Structures are given as C-alpha cells and as structure tokens.
Amino acid sequence: MTAGADRAPALRRAATHAAIFLSLIAAWEVGAQAGWLDPLFFPAPSAILASFWRIYVVQMNIWPHLGVSLGLVFAGFAIGSILGVGLGAVVGLNALVRRFLQPYVIVMEATPRIAVAPLIIAAVGFGAQSKIAIIMLVCFFAPFINTLSGVVNVNEDRLQLFRSMGASKWQILRKLVLPDAVPVIMAGERLALTAALSGVLVAEFIQRDQGIGALILTYTRNLNMPSAFACIFTLTAIGFAIFKGMEILDRRVAFWTNEEGLRRVGLARAAAHATLAGGRHG
C-alpha cells in the first residue's frame, strides 16, 4: 500500500524531470536549427549525437585515445595514491616528522599542483612517463593529507580505553587508528581519482600528442564543436562512473560505516565461524 503511494509521486517527479530535460534539449535544437544560437557556442544536440555515432561507431577514432588516457589515469592513480597513503601514515604516526613537514605541506597545498606539469615535462621528457609522473603528483596530495589527518585525529576517549585495557601499540594501530582513518582515506582516494582525470587532460593539452585531451584540442582547433562536446560528455560519463564506483568501493571497504555493509560482513563472518566450528566438531 505505502509502496504504491510512494511510487506515484516519484513517478510524477521523474516525468517532470524528463519533461524539463527534453524541452530544454528541444528548445536548444530548434534554436540551433533556426540559427538563433551560435553553433560555435551551442552546437545542435542532434549534431552532438551524430558526432557520438561517428567517433564511436563509424570512425571509431576515440577508442585508442580513450584507452591511452584511462590507462595513464589508473597507472598514475595507483602509484600516486599508494605513495600518498604510505607517506601519510608514516608522517602521521611520527610526531617529530609531522611537526617539521607541516609548513611544507601548507605551501604545497597553496601551489596549484597542476602547475608543475611543464617542469615535469622538461625534467622527464615528452611521452607517457611524464604524463604518469604528472598524474602521480596530482594524485599524491589528497590521500597524503587525508591519511595524515585520519591517523592523527584519534578519538581520545577510545585511545584511553584501549590503553587501560593493555592494548599494544600495534593493536591500537590495527584495531583503533586504522579503522577510524579508513573512511577519511577513502574520501581522499575519491578526490585523487577525480584529480587524476584532470591531470591527464592537462598533460595531454600541453603535449598535444594523443589521448582524449589531445583529441578535444584537435577538434576545437578545427572548430568541430559537436565532436569536442561529444568528447566532453564522454568525460562526464567517465567522471560519473568514477564517482559511483568509488562510492561503492567506499561502502565495501569501510563496511562498518553503513548498516547494510555491517550486516553483510557480519553474516559472512558468522557463516565462516559456523563452518570452522562445524569442521572442528565433525
């Protein structure tokens, strides 16, 4: 009963969303066809769709660029974020290092990180290595800072409880500090992956050789705006996939922060325990 009652307004809302979206697109299309909208600024939606069809299906020229860019994003992200978490933990757990590193962290925070791109290209040379190095660098900071603050901000009351029950340093780290830090670290990873996507684009804009950033640049230079927009909307889809994927990963890894994850892992552990106990008895 209630489910049906809930569904009707939800449906109506979705319909309103669709109506607004479609009328916007229709107005845009009509305006573009009639020549009221400058095709340089607002290429017709039908032209953008046609470009999608052309670059994905007919010419298939976006695929290699997409592959190159995504490969670089994940490689750079993996290296950069592992370094970030590792160094963040080392620095966070060591008060002396932390105190002396803090001013540098503040200075690095204020520097537009992407601005080191030309320096890295000069140092490493053109090509994939320098791109990975740039992505590594932009991926490093968010996990580093978040791990650092996650490790430092330990709940004092709980720490006291752990100590008074005679927990060892390792136990405190493993069972108190890390579990509390994981959600913050995951938030940092999410920021890093988004930054990686921007990082690869900037690297490709500067090097202008291959990848989705270079493709956008080429299309824009030729004033082929529909194709440029098709590439940008592709990036919207990738950005959305990253956002959703990281959300799911977050719920899986930091399972204790949400009800459903807690139940899932609890059940699995109970089942494992039951089979173990059963094996011992039988």
Which lies closer to other proteins via its Cβ, residue 1 or residue 237? 237
Long-range contacts of 233-237 (CB under 8 A, 24+ apart): 233/48, 233/52, 234/62, 234/66, 235/197, 235/201
Residues 202-221, mask of contacts with other proteins (x by CB under 8 A) = x--xx------x--xx-xxx
Structure tokens at 271: 């089942």
Q: Mark the segment that binds other proteins (CB under 8 A) among 82-90, 101-109, 141-149, 170-178.
A: 101-109
- Among 20, 25, 49, 277, indicate the residue that binds other proteins (CB under 8 A): 20
Structure tokens at 127: 């090509």
Long-range contacts of 155-159 (CB under 8 A, 24+ apart): 155/180
- Among 72, 176, 225, 230, indicate the residue that binds other proteins (CB under 8 A): 225
- Among 111, 153, 171, 275, indicate the residue that binds other proteins (CB under 8 A): 111
Q: Does 279 bind other proteins (CB under 8 A)?
A: no
Q: List helix spans (H) across the chain.
A: 2-34, 45-53, 62-93, 95-110, 117-124, 128-152, 156-164, 169-172, 178-207, 212-221, 225-253, 259-281
Scan for tokens 């569904």, then name that residue: 7
Q: Does 243 bind other proteins (CB under 8 A)?
A: yes
Q: Does 119 bind other proteins (CB under 8 A)?
A: yes
Q: Does 239 bind other proteins (CB under 8 A)?
A: yes
Which lies closer to other proteins via its Cβ, residue 22 or residue 272? 22
Q: Does 123 bind other proteins (CB under 8 A)?
A: yes
Scan for tokens 């990738």, then name that residue: 238
Contacts with other proteins by CB under 8 A: the residue count is 49
Scan for tokens 């670290």, then name that residue: 185
Q: What residues have CB less than 8 Å from 216, skipping those under 6 apart? A: 201, 228, 231, 232
**132-191 binders of other proteins (CB under 8 A):** none
CB of 31 to other proteins, least distance (A): 17
- Cα–Cα distances (Å) from 148 to 69, 154, 171, 257, in that order, read 30, 11, 19, 20
**31-60 binders of other proteins (CB under 8 A):** 40-41
Provide the binding-site residues for other proteins, judged by CB under 8 A: 13, 16-17, 20, 40-41, 100, 103, 107, 109-119, 121-123, 194, 197-198, 201-202, 205-206, 213, 216-217, 219-221, 223, 225, 228-229, 231-233, 235-236, 239-240, 242-243
